[in-house]
Amino acid sequence: MTEKWSPPPQDELGEALVEADLRVLLMVLFHITGDRKWIAAPYLPKRDVNLIADKEAGLPADIGAEIRKAAATLLSADQLDIAIDDPGDELMVELMSRCLGEAVPPEYAPMMREEMGLMSRQVGWSDNRPERLPTERPVVIVGAGASGIALGANLVKLGIPFVILEKNDQVGGTWYENIYPGCGVDTPNHAYSFSFGTRNRWSRYFAPRDEIHDYLVRSADEAGIRPYVEFNTAVTKADWDAGAKCWRVSFDGPKGPGELEAMALVSAIGQLSLPSVPPIEGVDDFAGPIFHTAEWPKGLDLDNKRIAIIGTGASSMQIVPSVVDQVASLDIYQRSAQWARPIPKYHDPIPVGSQWLLGKVPYYAAWFRFAMLWRYGDGLLPSLKKDPHWEHADRSLNRSNDRHRVQMTEHILEELAGREDLIEKCLPSYPPYGKRILLDNGWYSAITKPNVELVTDDIRRITRDGVETVDGVVRKADIVVLATGFKVSLMTARLNVTGLSGENLSDVWADDNPSAHLGITVPGFPNLFTMQGPNTGLGHGGSAIFQAECQAHYIAACLVQMFERGIDTIDVRQDVHDAYVRRVDAEHEGMIWTHPGMSTYYRNAKGRVVSVMPWRLVDYWSMTHEPDFTEYRLTSAK
């Protein structure tokens, strides 16, 4: 394979290579030359568990200089002849292990080759592709966020007729709707991106909201999805027509109510799209603006305003550092303390030289993405499993989890030194990662400022001009922000879906207890697929876009099989669904989110974990890569 290549000026190349991550640069050298010396001593990177790893890879200065000199020589050539493009599984395992300085299990090889674009993740047809695909009953996808884009990209290439019904006037889903100050990704954006399309030129390692939304818009346009989207169109209900073997999807659009017949219905609305507003007395009495973070008013003036923020989750942790120096006062109402990881370089721009390497040098962006996927992926999961022999089960789960507790406690004590009042309020009693992983992007520094009060007394009510706590204190406020999360457990049931027996999905999933085989299919609801469904959220790391692509691959593969085999309907068997749910529940019993005495939105009122999955990313990738139609009841026109 020969890459199109235009060598840069020598001074620019030299400046860029100074900023290069040596572990990534070694992989580039190997791809271009095929010379195994670059994956052997003395060029072996040391293991580094930091999220943004040291670019010198633990190598001596003279070795680093030798690597950069070799790269400068190669990249100065007028043409790059690539020795090894896709290394295959066996060599990939060796390369990953050398890159990271640790043994990588072989099952990660095919997954990472897809994620890095070394092999296609696209579902394809076999020799049995029908000459004509029926267009009168398209696949209907609800939602044009990341999940809808991931599936749409597959269906465009396959030529399968589909339509996306999107309630907003633009693609992007939650990244379109959430515009609050400080909104951004808490996963490194080189991992929080699609495996397909043009690699984005991110300004930071953790991109702000506007960049992420722009990326999703561009990804949709590059994939050719926009012509298939019906904007400003909200689904009102969907009913399975057993006689016609199709979904009847009712909607309200720009021209009023309408109905579509769909051969399959896909919910791509996710878990984090319906705001959860707690039943606080007096909400309607407040005289000023009061709103959920997902409904932040455009152009809202915060200058010298008294702000009350209810909640200390991910949104609050992003808002507070962003507005603290702008407002007159900031009262933060905390129900429970949160663990937060210190993240160096959270706000740092990606240097110009690094941008050039990521954008121009073959394989550099792919291996940088791999490093991010690995560090923010499955590595944390073992520390979230209960050790039955651990002596300190009240504070942590195992030795590794306890070490994380010590590290994060030390961070809190250092950040809040001299503020014993805040230390007492901010030190959680439950094990680290028992709730959603949060990042300290200036939170602890912000809450020490003189115009900030962290309030831990329960709220009694909201008055006309402030918030009253149970101790009778009223704190005045001009604006109240509800950083109170989302109704996670509703998911697809929000769409008013009625299945084969006439039962509504909201009744099947009653008591906040949703379940689905692989988080995707539900018995009695033929040809219904849910993305980001029950037990598919990520509590240990990883990327929601990774999950979306896994599910998009599975759904597209199901549709291909249906067309190729002349299958009208697939309906997951109840015993298959139940066995999968039992496996999920059994696995969760040994994990942090079922730790006694801890509450989290991952669990329902009965204590069952319904949001996040217990599996490694690679396990879920494997489970969803090839659908097994023996798990389904099938009907055919043939």
Complete domains list, the chain, with CATH: 2-106+356-378 (no CATH), 139-274+487-636 (3.50.50.60), 283-339+396-430+432-482 (3.50.50.60)
- Rounded to an integer, the average pLDDT of 232-256 is 97
Q: How confident is the model at residue 3 (pLDDT cuts 50, 70, 90)?
A: low
- Rounded to an integer, the average pLDDT of 320-343 is 95
Q: How confident is the model at residue 376 (pLDDT cuts 50, 70, 90)?
A: confident
Q: How confident is the model at residue 44 (pLDDT cuts 50, 70, 90)?
A: very high
pTM score, whole prediction: 0.95
In this predicted model, what pLDDT tens digit does every residue of 520-554 receive, in sequence order? Answer: 999 999 999 999 999 999 999 889 999 999 999 99
In this predicted model, what pLDDT tens digit does every residue of 192-216 receive, in sequence order? Answer: 999 998 888 899 999 999 999 999 9
The pLDDT of residue 57 is above 50:
yes
Backbone φ/ψ region at 607: left (φ over 0), alpha (ψ -120 to 50), beta: left
Peptide bond into 42 cis (omega under 30): yes
The pLDDT of residue 234 is above 90:
yes
DSSP per residue, 492-556: GGGG-EE-TTS-BHHHHTTTT----BTTTB-TT-TTEEESS-TT-B-SSS--HHHHHHHHHHHHH
- Rounded to an integer, the average pLDDT of 236-251 is 97
Backbone φ/ψ region at 69: left (φ over 0), alpha (ψ -120 to 50), beta: alpha
**Residue 347 pLDDT:** 85
In this predicted model, what pLDDT tens digit does every residue of 103-152 receive, in sequence order? Answer: 999 999 999 999 999 999 889 999 889 988 988 999 999 999 999 999 99
Burial of residue 406, with CB atoms counted within 10 A of its CB: 0-12 exposed, 13-18 middle, 19 or more buried: exposed
**Residue 380 pLDDT:** 85
- Rounded to an integer, the average pLDDT of 471-482 is 97
**Residue 2 pLDDT:** 43
